[in-house]
Amino acid sequence: MKKNQNKNAFAIVTGASKGLGYAYCEELLKLGYNVIGVARDTDNLKELQNKYKELKVEAWNMDLSDIKNAYKLFEDSNKYEVEIVINNAGYGVWGYFDQSSLDQEMNMIDLNIKSLHIITKLFVQKFKEKNIGRVLNIGSMAAFTPAPVFASYYASKVYVWSLGVAINTELKKTKSKVRVITLCPGPLKTDFWNRSSNQKEAKYKSTVKVMKTSTYAKKSLLKGLQSKRKDYIITGNTNKLMKKLTKWAPQSIVLSSVYNYQRKRK
């Protein structure tokens, strides 16, 4: 993919302090974009500021589970030439539904759904005015099946996927050059599971091959920025196979399989 030629162009990445968000920041910088990294703690972004001194790396400390900050993010960004927004911030709440924390689940819904919805809407409206811009929403393979013992998180990703596909269809039907692409990663080696399971050093367990976070960030970003017709992107043959299996296998078998997998993860 060609490097960005607009030296004033910015990309916003939420959940930018580590893991997938941090990897997206670095890949965008490699492509020549200035970056606004948004997270509750942005100390790690100092490494990117020192490494890519020819570009601007803004570090915005914001907790986007407080939806007032979603509006503030948009307002503060108006003085920048933003062309890309990556809604990456999010987490899960693992556990049997009758036992998991309702407060945590409401906080997760505010972050995974409400904040993402607000940011997506405001930037789509802004991008349409200039007929340029792209929103990449981080969905999940979780969007394609319900998940006993991880019910609320999987449900939140169904919302992200459904919303993004619908918006992108509207944009294509109305001949807009703006796009909202939903990226659907499978398991990745991040600290996502630590927060989701309320464990400081939870060992990640997966029955499928886990892609490196940096590899996924590079592949999915390039596809997300280049795609003209696709509404969502699944990266990796294993993930594509899993998508087909969840579509064609009887739901009772899929649900039993997911249940057995999730309940053994702690």
Q: What is the pLDDT along the chain (266 residues), one digit of tens a residue?
A: 778 889 999 999 999 999 999 999 999 999 999 999 999 999 999 999 999 999 999 999 999 999 999 999 999 999 999 999 999 999 999 999 999 999 999 999 999 999 999 999 999 999 999 999 999 999 999 999 999 999 999 999 999 999 999 999 999 999 999 999 999 999 886 555 455 555 554 455 555 567 899 999 999 999 999 999 999 999 988 888 887 888 777 777 767 787 787 877 65
Report the Cα–Cα distance between both ends of the chain, in Å, rounded: 41
Task: Tell me the pTM.
Answer: 0.91
Question: Tokens for 110?
Answer: 């505010």
Q: How many domains does the chain have?
A: 1
**Which uninterrupted H or E stretch holds 182?**
strand 179-183
> CA-CA distance, 124 to 126, in Å (whole number)?
5
Residue 89, domain extent: 9-263
Residue 1 forms part of a structural domain: no
Of 2, 119, 1, 3, whose CA–CA distance to 52 is shortest? 3
CA 205 to chain centre: 21
The count of C-alpha atoms lying within 13 angstroms of the C-alpha of 4, restricted to the half-sphere facing its C-beta, is: 22
Residue 64 forms part of a structural domain: yes
CATH number assigned to the domain comprising residue 148: 3.40.50.720
Residue 183 forms part of a structural domain: yes
> CA-CA distance, 211 to 187, in Å (whole number)?
7
Q: Please check whether residue 18 is in contact with residue 191, taking contact to mean a CB–CB distance below 8 angstroms.
A: yes
Unique residue bearing structure tokens 């930037």: 123
Residue 3 forms part of a structural domain: no
DSSP state of 111: I
